[in-house]
Structure 1
Amino acid sequence: MGRQAERNARVPLPIRDGVAPSYLWVTQACAGGMLDFLAARFADVTRQSWLERMARGDVVDAAGSRLGPDSAVQNGMRIWYYRELEAETPIPFDAQVLFQDEHLLVADKPHFLPMIPSGRFLQETLLVRLKKAYALPHLTPIHRLDRETAGVVIFSHNPATRGVYQSLFQKRAVRKTYEALAAPLVGRDFPFTYRSRMVDGEQFFVMREEAGEPNSETLVELIARRGAVNHYRLHPHTGRKHQLRLHMATLGAPILNDAFYPVPLPCKGDDFSAPLQLLARSIGFDDPLTGVARRFFSERSLDLPSD
């Protein structure tokens, strides 16, 4: 049995409504029962909610045994449960599937739709929507796009071959092309390559640059000048979080409607009126199983200004 198949065999709760169960490890024994432990661990979930979940059998141990309010909390145990949200704002944009075979699914993601469940998003995520629509319980993204970014993204739905495709990204054998709208870069000859050292910022959701050996690289090309806005083609030769957004902002041309760079702005909540003008236009690679050259293109477009 392979590692992924072995892991799947150990999951004691099934996928429900497109959502896989979550789990947490207990690192030390705790006095009191399971209800007290979970209520203290998850301050945003009410005790009544945990009671209801336990009554439905939605909280179990690694063996699949139901856990109740008074169950012992033991060091080393793994607790399985489902994430639930009382209210979730609908994302009024749909993804398109560009390609599917027995190994991969390639989607064209809209702006504002998160990739995977996190924070205040669960059902309104690309992963859960695709799992439900295509009945693919093993669907997993093999790379990520920001919630704010639109375009091509690749998923694996065959655990037996997932590692082969993931290795393409680890080896930088994938050719990714983005397009962006931003202010003109004065005094630059195109194309040019920008390199910097990127590290985590003081705020957990942003990155920053510091002096030192570069660990990120982007090739910047000019597609067209459109008055006060330039249309750029960007080739990230590395895959750092927010790399294109930070690089363009540092160069003095932050991508239009970027709420994080150069300065994080107040959260816009569910305002969908000003999408980030960044699009993952294409992804290309040589298929590691067949040797066939593959390239997938987004059918979406940026809000290009009139000439």
Structure 2
Amino acid sequence: MEEKPVSEPSEQGSSPPPAKRQRRRLLLAAKRQARRPGPLEEGEKRYVPPPQKRNPGVSFGEAHFAETSYYFEGGLRKVRPYYFDFQNYCKGRWVGKSLQHVFSTEFRAQPLECYQAAARAGRLRLNEQPVRDLSVILKNNDFLKNTVHRHEPPVTAQTIEFLEENDEVVVVNKPSSLPVHPCGRFRHNTVIFILGKEHNLKELHTIHRLDRLTSGVLMFAKSVEVSKRIDEQVRQRQLEKEYVCRVLGEFPENEVTCEEPILVVSYKVGVCRVDPKGKVCKTVFRRLNYNGNTSVVKCYPYTGRTHQIRVHLQFLGHPIVNDPIYNTDAWGPAKGKGGKLSKTDEELLRALVEGHLSKQSLDVLDVAEEDLKPLVGDNVQETPGNCVKPGQAALANVNSGSTEASNDEGQSEILGCSQDFAQMHKAESGKMCPSEHLEEKDPLCEECKIVRPDPSPKDLVMYLHALRYKGADFEYCSRMPAWAQDDWEET
């Protein structure tokens, strides 16, 4: 019998190649998994969806802005507590370990019972499926989601003043105490969110950052092209920056240049110091006036290291008057003058945190709550009616928040609260997230059980202000703050 030649398959009517068939089977399996109700069971074979491509840029829309609202009280801008999803892909070191192991070893600020209660309430999800049993073993690309009741610290009620708005940039005079963008415990009480919610300014690109307690000129680009153009000027050292501050003591009348290298002691706590192993930097200082107790000084940073002006002034023996980090006794009798420090870095961090715990001012220090126990252990006493207990919001830390001092590297994209959980909570309690301050409580929220004393607006102001930013084709300047005036007297 004559053998028939094998013809080439045509595009139409031919079966897909093996690779395509495999992808199709995986896709169908993923759809079946997504449709299947009920929690994951221990030992069950799980399909793990491939990781989604995530937008690396910061972009917030109406859904994010609608999570909660502001209210004003005692000179402070406050955020009503709201439900929020922290989410993160499984880290490499978690693969092959149980959720219980991860919570008990890496998120120890809360007892394991808190996480077990969150799982029973349906607030923990793995690949969008509720996780009731924390013994489930994590796999590569597993996607974790943790729904929490989130409380944000208050900031000053001072309005954001617009210095310039055109087709390319938005330039504002940032009040002290406001972070530039979401970080740590702050989300809605940030410049980015306030501009979006109250002024309909969205898709802004950060050109430079200011510390949370630093006020002054802050620039945003309205497009990627403008952002890259100005960023290139920053890289080429073409951007001139001028700050003003009020420092302790009589600052020298002659111009002072400080070129001491600066080392980051802790990104999480946000502390730096002068050290030969640090990064090279340079700041020039010129005194404007002296009132017999404090001096007003202009500062010209030629580099942009974390806390550069504050650290150099501390080294010179003239720290900023109300600097909550670099003008404290935690640094010793000389308060770090001349770089003298008789403590180890760990002892310094512990002293700083303990000092702010005693004054109920951890929000001013910007220390992340999950970092407290390694520094102070369990030896913190609780004062009735106040919060001094470390780690009250650690249940929120499926994705550990960083402080602004870390330049926010590795921040994950954060989306709005889970509609499934919101509906579930409504069905269970008949109430949604608090609409009037703190009158309604969440049964699993440790923050809801605490009465936190409000800081005074004065406590949230540090006497450091970005006065002027000048580039190749722009110059923006704010007015001198009240505390820098010649006739200013502290009340």
Aligned to 2:415: none
User: 1:238 pairs with 303, 327, 330, which one?
Assistant: 303
Query: Is contact 1:85-1:122 (8 Å) kept?
Result: no
User: 1:198 pairs with 256, 262, 265, which one?
Assistant: 262
Query: Is contact 2:210-2:218 (8 Å) kept?
Result: yes
Shift of 1:105: 1.6
Q: Secondary structure at the match of 2:471?
A: strand
CA distance in 2, matches of 1:249, 1:49: 45
Shift of 1:75: 0.5
1:186-233: CA deviation from partner (whole Å, max 9, x where unpaired): 6x4522321111001268421111236861101111222322222211
Query: Is contact 1:279-1:302 (8 Å) kept?
Result: no
Q: Give matches, 1:166-205, under 5 Å.
A: 166-185=231-250, 188-201=252-265, 204-205=269-270
Query: Is contact 1:98-1:107 (8 Å) kept?
Result: yes
User: 2:188 pairs with 110, 115, 123, which one?
Assistant: 123
Aligned to 2:22: none
Higher strand share: 1
Aligned to 1:8: 55
Shift of 1:16: 1.1
Shift of 1:131: 2.2
Partner amino acid for 2:210? L
Aligned to 1:272: 457
CA distance in 1, matches of 2:211, 2:56: 31
TM-score, normalization: structure 1?
0.76
Aligned to 1:251: 316
Shift of 1:169: 2.1
Partner amino acid for 1:106? V
Tell me: CA distance 1:117–1:221, structure 2 relative to 1, closer, same or farther (3 Å): same
CA distance in 2, matches of 1:53, 1:218: 53
CA distance in 1, matches of 2:297, 2:315: 15
1:164-193: CA deviation from partner (whole Å, max 9, x where unpaired): 32232222221110011113446x452232
Shift of 1:260: 0.9
CA RMSD of aligned residues (A): 3.7
Partner amino acid for 1:231? V
1:229-288: CA deviation from partner (whole Å, max 9, x where unpaired): 2221110001111111111111111111111114356335334324221111011112xx
CA distance in 1, matches of 2:323, 2:107: 32
User: Unpaired runs of 5+ in structure 2?
Assistant: 1-52, 68-83, 331-351, 362-454
Shift of 1:82: 7.7
Per mean C-alpha deviation after superposition, the further-off stretch among 204-213 and 141-150 is 204-213
Higher relative contact order (CA 8 A, sep 6+): 2
Q: Give matches, 1:39-78, under 5 Å.
A: 47=115, 66-69=128-131, 73-78=138-143
CA distance in 2, matches of 1:160, 1:122: 26
CA distance in 2, matches of 1:195, 1:10: 34
Partner amino acid for 1:8? N
Partner amino acid for 1:207? C
Q: Secondary structure at the match of 1:201?
A: strand
1:87-107: CA deviation from partner (whole Å, max 9, x where unpaired): 543532221222223332211
Tell me: CA distance 1:82–1:109, structure 2 relative to 1, closer, same or farther (3 Å): farther
Higher helix share: 2
Tell me: CA distance 1:294–1:52, structure 2 relative to 1, closer, same or farther (3 Å): farther
Q: Secondary structure at the match of 1:8?
A: coil
Tell me: CA distance 1:220–1:86, structure 2 relative to 1, closer, same or farther (3 Å): closer
TM-score, normalization: structure 2?
0.50
CA distance in 1, matches of 2:126, 2:223: 27
User: Unpaired runs of 5+ in structure 1?
Assistant: 1-5, 287-292
CA distance in 1, matches of 2:199, 2:186: 20
Tell me: CA distance 1:122–1:202, structure 2 relative to 1, closer, same or farther (3 Å): closer
Per mean C-alpha deviation after superposition, the further-off stretch among 234-243 and 68-77 is 68-77
CA distance in 1, matches of 2:477, 2:206: 17
Query: Is contact 1:198-1:207 (8 Å) kept?
Result: yes
Q: Give matches, 1:150-169, under 5 Å.
A: 150-169=215-234
Query: Is contact 1:151-1:300 (8 Å) kept?
Result: no
Query: Is contact 1:93-1:113 (8 Å) kept?
Result: no
Tell me: CA distance 1:125–1:202, structure 2 relative to 1, closer, same or farther (3 Å): closer
CA distance in 2, matches of 1:165, 1:84: 39
Sequence identity, in percent? 20
Query: Is contact 1:195-1:214 (8 Å) kept?
Result: no
Partner amino acid for 1:122? R
Per mean C-alpha deviation after superposition, the further-off stretch among 91-100 and 173-182 is 91-100
Aligned to 1:297: 477
Tell me: CA distance 1:7–1:142, structure 2 relative to 1, closer, same or farther (3 Å): farther
Q: Does 1:135 align with 2:200?
A: yes
CA distance in 2, matches of 1:90, 1:296: 25
